[in-house]
Amino acid sequence: MRIVFLGPQGVGKGTQGARLSERLSVPALSTGDMLRAEVRSGTELGLQADALMKAGELVSDAIMLGMIRTRVAQADAATGFILDGFPRTLAQAEGLDATLVSASAPLDVVVLFEAPRDVLESRLTGRRTCGDCGAVYHVLSQPSSREGVCDRCGGGLVQRADDTPEAIGRRLDLYERQTAPLADYYAARGLLVRVDGTRAVGEVRSDLLMAIGLGEVVS
Ligand code: AP5
């Protein structure tokens, strides 16, 4: 399945992407994670992206499209993928369509996760991420067993540089202006399904599976 996760920062796209990736055996491709890997490696792209990301700004459409075109062409994405954090602008959505149409591999579904701004803000300020494996926690709703230590790999948990109140406000404003209109773009193509992102992680997962046609009806 080829799936796009749409939704504001902090709504739980990364959290659900990791779980659905295991269930479907397809990669969850987070453009934020890809950019953070470039920053860690100190590449030219990473140096350019670092300041933009810390400030909550978007990296250019041309760079992001190039990155995604290369990534979805790799062998592990041949049977499908979950795109998390891409597209974020109309230009990215159109570029993605063109890429997938030329590969005769169009999107199957676009999932829009929804939650009000106060929920998003408290999720982002409490988020902690493993610096080694990228696992995501929350100090209140999803704490690690040992404070500051990743349950999965034992790595140290850190707060992301863009999870400051100023950068969070800027990212959520940008989402409303640049990315939220993509819901109409995909609805017009008959691809959009909506999931309530305010529920608990397991409930969101069940709703997601139902929304994409993989859920089990419990009688
Ligand atoms: P990116 O890494 O994509 O960050 P983001 O958009 O800010 O999204 P988040 O990762 O913050 O949100 P999420 O929905 O994945 O939430 P999560 O699951 O972690 O991008 C970073 C930057 O890279 C951008 O600002 C930009 O500069 C650049 N970039 C990336 N893609 C780009 C593109 N296409 N074009 C241009 N620039 C691009 O959950 C959040 C918290 O909530 C966690 O603590 C989690 O534990 C908790 N949580 C999750 N679900 C629940 C739940 N159901 N109940 C309670 N808590 C929950």
Q: What is the pLDDT of residues 67-117, one digit of tens each?
A: 999 999 999 999 999 999 999 999 999 999 999 999 889 999 999 999 999
Going 51 to 172 to 132 to 66, the CA torsion angle's sign is negative
- Which pLDDT tens digit goes with each residue over 41-74? 999 999 999 999 988 899 999 999 999 999 999 9
- Distance from the alpha carbon of residue 14 to the mean position of ligand 1, in angstroms: 6
User: Counting atoms of ligand 1 from 1, which one is nearest the CA of 126?
Assistant: 44
- State the chain's mean pLDDT as an integer: 94
- The residue whose CA is least distant from atom 9 of ligand 1 is 9
Best probe residue, ligand 1, of 21, 31, 176 (max atoms within 8 Å of C-beta): 31
Active site amino acids: 13, 88, 127, 160, 171
Is the per-residue pLDDT at 218 higher than 70?
Answer: no
State how far the Cα of 143 lies from the Cα of 150, in Å rounded to an integer. 10
- Which pLDDT tens digit goes with each residue over 186-209? 999 999 999 999 999 999 999 999
Residue 163, both tokens: 């999870």
Q: Which residues make Cβ contacts (< 8 Å) with residue 92, sequence separation at least 6?
A: 61, 64, 65, 68, 86
**Residue 161: pLDDT band by 50, 70, 90 thresholds?**
confident
- Domain boundary assignment for the chain: 2-116+173-211
H helix count then E strand count, the chain: 9, 8
Q: Does domain 2-116+173-211 have CATH number 3.40.50.150?
A: no
Residue 178, both tokens: 């640049």
| Contact of 135 with 15, CB cutoff 8 Å | no
The pLDDT of residue 187? 98
Going 139 to 26 to 203 to 56, the CA torsion angle's sign is positive
| Contact of 77 with 59, CB cutoff 8 Å | no
- Distance from the alpha carbon of residue 218 to the mean position of ligand 1, in angstroms: 31
The pLDDT of residue 217? 57
83-to-14, 27, 159, 193, 219 alpha-carbon distances in Å: 10, 9, 23, 15, 32
**Cβ(134) – ligand 1 distance below 6 Å:** no
Give percent of the chain above pLDDT 90. 91
**What amino acid occupies position 91?**
A
